[in-house]
Amino acid sequence: MKLAVINSKGEDTGRKVDLKDSIYKIEPSEHAVYLDVKKYLASQRQGTHKTKERNEITGSTKKIKRQKGTGTARAGSIKSPILRGGGTAFGPRNRDYSFKLNKKVRSLAKKSVLSAKAAEKQIKVLEDQKMDAPRTKEFSSLLDNLSLGVDKALFITGEKNANVHLSARNIPNAKVITADEISTYELVNADCVVLFESAVEPIENRLN
């Protein structure tokens, strides 16, 4: 599969890159995508929710009324969950929501999303951008030239480029990550994936 390399003005440079069919032209696995997105979202959860149980409530341990003869149900502690101010029964506890997912499944999920994006022509290859300093206005013009003004665009660079990252930081519909940081969630969430020319090989090396 070959894609034309475009420049910052959205024009064809005359060069083409060869994208491997083993990554960009497979039968997508929706279940693998679901599992990897679920794993990503679960890992984002802090799991710090907690309620006090009856053994953590401050209060007297004295039996609040006699066992029999009151005409009501017996009660032994003011910390009981059925009383106002008592502990919470079966409340949430601190926990870790993350779970393990096999590396091959995670790789298949990324390949599935990239293949689906490629089939829908939602992948572009952009020549590497050289920025001497962060320039948000220049990056905004790049989005307009690529006709990405209203879409969620995910830019993937070959290696960390601080100026490109800072230029896109204040633009709400654009995000810049490196080839080592790609996740299924980021790929699914993007309306268009823009690969910097230097990112093509690192992505292939990682997913193969």
Q: pLDDT tens across 158-202, in order?
A: 888 888 899 889 888 899 999 999 999 999 999 999 999 999 999
Q: Is the residue at 52 inside a domain?
A: no
Task: Say if 182 falls within a structural domain.
Answer: yes
Residue 27 covered by a domain:
yes
CATH number at residue 163: 3.40.1370.10
CA distance 79 to 64: 10
Per-residue pLDDT for 142 more than 90?
Answer: no
Which residues form the domain of 158? Answer: 2-46+101-207
Does residue 186 lie in a domain region? yes
Residue 150 reports pLDDT greater than 80? no
Average pLDDT over residues 88-106: 95
How would you classify residue 58: left for phi > 0, otherwise alpha for psi between -120 and 50, otherwise beta? beta
Mean pLDDT in residue range 50-72 = 92
| Helix (H), strand (E) counts: the chain | 7, 6
Residue 129: predicted pLDDT: 81
pLDDT for 147 equals 85
Structure confidence at residue 151 (pLDDT): 79
- Per the structure, the count of domains in the chain is 1
For residue 176, what is the enclosing H or E element?
strand 174-178
pLDDT the model gives residue 13: 86
**Residue 131 covered by a domain:** yes
- Percent of the chain scoring above 90 in pLDDT: 65
Predicted TM-score (pTM) of the model is 0.82
Q: Is the pLDDT of residue 125 over 80?
A: yes
Is the residue at 105 inside a domain? Answer: yes
**Average pLDDT of the residues in 50-56:** 94
What distance in Å separates the CA atoms of residue 12 and residue 24, rounded to the nearest whole number?
21
What confidence tier does 31 reach under pLDDT thresholds 50, 70, 90? very high
Position 109 confidence tier, pLDDT thresholds 50, 70, 90 = very high
Given this model, what pLDDT does residue 104 score?
Answer: 95
Q: Is 8 helix (H, G, I), strand (E, B) or coil?
A: coil
Q: Is 80 inside any structural domain?
A: no
Report if residue 35 sits inside a domain. yes
The mean per-residue pLDDT over the stretch 26-38 comes to: 96
